[in-house]
Structure 1
Amino acid sequence: MAESPRQLGPRSIFKEKSYARFWFARICSTLSFQMVAVAVGWQLYALTHSTFALGMVGLVQFTPMLLLTLVVGHVADRFDRKTIVSICQVIEGTTVATLAVTSYFGWLHPVGIYCAVAAIGASRAFESPSTQAMVPGLVDESMVPTAIAWSASANQTASIVGPALGGLLYALGAHVPYALCACLFGTASVLSSTIRTKRRASGKGPVTANSLFSGIHYIRARKNILGAISLDLFVVLLGGATALLPAYARDILHTGPWGLGLLRLSPALGALTTSVILAHHPIRRQAGKRMFAAVIVFGLATISFALSRSVWLSMGILAVLGAADVVSVVVRSSLVQLETPDEMRGRVSAVNSLFIGTSNQLGEFESGVTASWFGIVPATIVGGVGSIVIALIWMGVFPGLRKLESLSGAPGVKK
């Protein structure tokens, strides 16, 4: 007799061959992206010696996501998602392979780097919503939160290993990390192409203005999803302490590059540890209250970090911050996927990806501006307090989200 989903242990999710392939493909793809980000930053600064040029990388990468949001979601709902992901990874692999060749022969110009970053940004604009929308179709519905937690662990693992590996390999020449990334993207593409989904209900209706904007309309009509996505947007906008880590390392904690590296590592370690715990022990009740509690802890950790004057204490606080953040991410992602029908997941995921990208990019900008106005420490404290205030306001404005009970499937969700 087959085991029921409730009887399966946490690790048994990898008995689903398609999910295992998805998970390893995600590690390869995210690891490559992180390595490319480090290599591009070092190489561009070596060529230009301009911090403005470095800042333009984020803008060039984010612009395709902004411009393509409505299109990519529709594509994810009309065509086979594994094929979209696989094709995007081929394009990304080809792009970084071109960077490897041109770097090796000394042909690469800053304009070429920007073109490559734009191509990768456009590919990821298509890849991200398709990747998010695929997860519920790979496992039984009751195991979706566990699948999302393991997916988060893959992302955090790559975020820890990728920058360090990229920096280490760059010492051997810029072409070395690029070449490895091309191989990893190719591996991810092969793995993605072999995925088999349990269920697929592709939306094949005609493309109209209403269908293009349907993802936005769907989110607006469902207060739980709107509340969860907007909560993440505003909290990340206000609580972007990690954007100020270089200034904290040098001017507040009086440490060198090694200290900055440890500070950057700490949130990812906290997030990775928590995502693994959530994969083994999924949130089965009071999901809404736990999400809001995690956001409040995030705000308190931000304030505590601002007041710390010890590198080691700051590392511990940042680990707590990363842990709180991943709890919120798992609850929000599970809610969005489980409350969205399969034929709409691409368009809803595209809007969600835009919100995440906007909050990350604008959050860094907001942190920099407020720090220049008020000082590093006051700006961080304001951001932490703002995160807590937003959480308290959202608990009142979105009572259904606060009362959200179960993430084990749509029937257990309180509207």
Structure 2
Amino acid sequence: MPGADPKAPSPLSFPDYRYYWFARFTAVMATIAMVVVIGYQLYDTARTDYGMSIKEASFQLGLLGLFQFLPLAILTPVAGWAADRFERRTVAIFSNLIDILIAATLGWFTWSDGLSLPLLFGLAALHGVARVFSGPAMSAIAPNIVPPAVLPRAIAMSSIAWQSASVIGPAAGGLIYAAHPTSVYIFAVVLLAVSAFTLSRVRPVLPPPAEVRRHPLREMVDGLRFVWTERFLLGTITLDLFAVILSGATAMLPVYARDILHTGSEGLGLLRAAPAVGAAVVALGLAWRPIERNVGVKMLWAVAVFGAVTVAFGLSTSFFLSLGLLVVMGAADMFSVFVRGTLIQLNTPDHMRGRVSAASGLAISASNELGEMRAGAMAAALGPVSAVALGGAAAVGVTALWAWLFPELRRARTFEPQFKQ
């Protein structure tokens, strides 16, 4: 299967990919702006309306991650199967409509001053439902609208859409919320509607025909078994899973913004945007010149750097130093995400892309949301600074352990298949 071809045309030369790219950009900008504000509102509500201490409110942020993760854990096999059985644009648009409902509901209760912790937890769980169906469907669309030789650049440019939206979304969300709290949700509704319309302009992406259709549960299990039996994919996916569970600092950003760095919601928006700045720079470089050699070792080093810089961020009390460290964290994370995403897409048969993407998405979401739960629990016991710093140190250790447990990762020289399909 071909890798990156420097002479291949730009993915943006394909109209369907341009629609896809813009739909991804607008949806991510809307949802990340919304999620940033939800986290801040939950922490502020816990501190102000419920009279919780910093440690107690930090634990609520951990619970927020858990509530977003539970739908992912339960529905991931269903979402992957749906992406392989139904028209993929329709599945993605459906998830956008769920997020529109969430944004409109949050806007109403913010305007009427009726927010409560149960409401925020419930809507966070519903957002998890939207995400679990969106991820596999969107991931499975790209390989069907560009030629294989263009796919590595298409993945990098898709990451640019994600990361640039991740820069603009949090910053815009924080600033809009500071100016007029309800307006941030109006902003999200409009962008999600634009995303759904733009995605509808992509030509239909029908699921590939299967020689034999089996029971849906059997097909779901097949996707999980495929990942489990291919050690290279298993090692790649679980490395990210455990490293981010241990080192994830995102959940603690509202704590840092409000009570450690004292920057408020505007500062929180910048803190959430900073990793995406570093990631966007790396994504631009990879879109221009994709890496082709020693991809496995480079991925391992990127994860180790991510963990080490997390330690430094946890100990920082300077706002601008913290911003710079978050930029480096985002750059390292983007590098490992690019390697993992390219390997998965280039090494997975099309008829299983939805299910394998769902398994990978579950690992990513588990790492993020369970990482938030881990950080919240540790912050409740040890304080937020210790929770972040110790988690980063543990991630470095996990990287070294995975390099030993999965030598296939160290031996991966290129993006060519590491196993027989």
TM-score by length of 1: 0.86
Flag the 1:60–1:364 CA change in 2: closer, same or farther, 3 A: closer
- Residue type of the alignment partner of 1:338: L
Flag the 1:69–1:301 CA change in 2: closer, same or farther, 3 A: same
Residues 197-226 of structure 1, C-alpha deviations (whole Å, 9 max, x = no match): 789524471324322211210101111110
State the alpha-carbon separation in 1 of the partners of residues 41 and 383 from structure 2. 31
SS state of the match for residue 165, structure 1?
helix
| Residue equivalent to 1:144 | 151
State the alpha-carbon separation in 1 of the partners of residues 65 and 308 from structure 2. 28
Residues 374-389 of structure 1 aligned to structure 2 (within 5 Å) = 379-389=387-397
Flag the 1:255–1:49 CA change in 2: closer, same or farther, 3 A: closer
Contact 2:87 2:204 in 1 (8 A): no
Flag the 1:36–1:70 CA change in 2: closer, same or farther, 3 A: same
SS state of the match for residue 414, structure 2?
coil
Shift of 1:270: 1.1
| Residue equivalent to 2:53 | none
Flag the 1:263–1:22 CA change in 2: closer, same or farther, 3 A: same
Q: Higher relative contact order at CA 8 Å, sep ≥6: structure 1 or structure 2?
A: 2
Question: Which shifted more, 307-316 or 321-330?
Answer: 307-316
SS state of the match for residue 227, structure 1?
helix
Shift of 1:144: 1.9
Residues 29-44 of structure 1 aligned to structure 2 (within 5 Å) = 29-41=27-39
| Residue equivalent to 2:325 | 317
State the alpha-carbon separation in 2 of the partners of residues 232 and 358 from structure 1. 10
Residues 12-161 of structure 1 aligned to structure 2 (within 5 Å) = 12-41=10-39, 45=44, 49-50=49-50, 51=57, 56-100=63-107, 114-161=121-168
Task: Identify unmatched segments of 5+ residues in structure 2.
Answer: 51-56
Flag the 1:299–1:17 CA change in 2: closer, same or farther, 3 A: same
Question: Which shifted more, 151-160 or 202-211?
Answer: 202-211
Residues 27-82 of structure 1, C-alpha deviations (whole Å, 9 max, x = no match): 11111112222444455655982447665543333222222111111111111111
Shift of 1:147: 1.5
Shift of 1:314: 3.5
Contact 2:310 2:392 in 1 (8 A): yes
- Residue type of the alignment partner of 2:83: A
Flag the 1:291–1:199 CA change in 2: closer, same or farther, 3 A: farther
- Residue type of the alignment partner of 2:417: V
Flag the 1:306–1:312 CA change in 2: closer, same or farther, 3 A: same
SS state of the match for residue 208, structure 2?
coil
Alignment coverage as a number of residue pairs = 405
SS state of the match for residue 362, structure 1?
helix
- Residue type of the alignment partner of 2:342: S
Contact 2:66 2:370 in 1 (8 A): no
Residues 298-356 of structure 1, C-alpha deviations (whole Å, 9 max, x = no match): 22322333455544333323222211111001111111121111111111111211111
Matched, 1:181 2:194: no
| Residue equivalent to 2:307 | 299
- Residue type of the alignment partner of 1:356: I
Question: Which shifted more, 261-270 or 347-356?
Answer: 261-270
Shift of 1:118: 3.6
Flag the 1:97–1:246 CA change in 2: closer, same or farther, 3 A: closer
SS state of the match for residue 357, structure 2?
helix
Matched, 1:413 2:417: yes
State the alpha-carbon separation in 1 of the partners of residues 38 and 231 from structure 2. 40
- Residue type of the alignment partner of 2:49: H
Contact 2:32 2:170 in 1 (8 A): yes
State the alpha-carbon separation in 2 of the partners of residues 13 and 56 from structure 1. 40
Matched, 1:398 2:406: yes
Flag the 1:274–1:54 CA change in 2: closer, same or farther, 3 A: same
| Residue equivalent to 2:278 | 270
- Residue type of the alignment partner of 1:49: D
Flag the 1:224–1:199 CA change in 2: closer, same or farther, 3 A: farther
| Residue equivalent to 1:7 | 7
SS state of the match for residue 326, structure 2?
helix
Matched, 1:290 2:294: no
- Residue type of the alignment partner of 1:301: V
Flag the 1:288–1:197 CA change in 2: closer, same or farther, 3 A: farther
Please, what is the CA RMSD of the aligned residues? 3.1
Flag the 1:321–1:46 CA change in 2: closer, same or farther, 3 A: closer
Shift of 1:363: 1.4
SS state of the match for residue 396, structure 2?
helix
Contact 2:175 2:269 in 1 (8 A): no
Shift of 1:274: 1.0
TM-score by length of 2: 0.84
- Residue type of the alignment partner of 1:66: A
State the alpha-carbon separation in 2 of the partners of residues 124 and 145 from structure 1. 23
Shift of 1:251: 7.3
Question: Which shifted more, 43-52 or 319-328?
Answer: 43-52
Q: What percent identity do the matched residue pairs reach?
A: 39
